[in-house]
């Protein structure tokens, strides 16, 4: 049986759980704070990929029909933020 990857799966290991707790897409400011917190020690490849997945998740959330224009704008800002 082939594993099907999804953006909305649960984290697999303890390191991914830590990243899931650090990275927040609730608002653009919280996402920027997450980026700054991870950049303090230098971004690893795994942290960079986790940030990219968070941006992709924000992009998908921005396409939902049942959110307000403000929420759509916030998700769009998060999806287009520079990571480095």
Per-residue pLDDT tens over the stretch 26-83: 999 999 999 999 999 899 998 999 999 999 999 999 999 999 999 999 999 999 999 9
* Burial state string for 7-35 with b = 16 or more CB within 10 A and e = fewer than 16: eeeeeeeeeeeebeeebebeebeebeebb
Residue 61 pLDDT: 93
- Mean pLDDT value across residues 2-12: 65
Angle at 78 between CA 75 and CA 80, to 5 degrees: 110
4, pLDDT greater than 60: no
Residue 13 pLDDT: 82
Kindly report, residue by residue over 59-75, the tens digit of the pLDDT. Answer: 999 999 999 999 999 99
pTM (2 decimals)? 0.84
For residues 28 and 74, the answer to whether their CB atoms sit within 8 Å is yes
């Amino acid at each position: 049986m082939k594993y099907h990857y999804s953006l909305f799966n649960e984290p697999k290991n303890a390191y991914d759980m830590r990243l899931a707790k650090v990275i927040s897409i609730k608002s653009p400011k919280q996402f920027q704070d997450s980026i700054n917190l991870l950049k303090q020690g230098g971004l690893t490849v795994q942290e960079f990929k986790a940030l990219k997945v968070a941006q992709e998740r924000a992009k998908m959330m921005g396409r939902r029909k049942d959110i307000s224009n403000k929420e759509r704008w916030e998700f769009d800002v998060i999806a287009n933020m520079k990571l480095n």
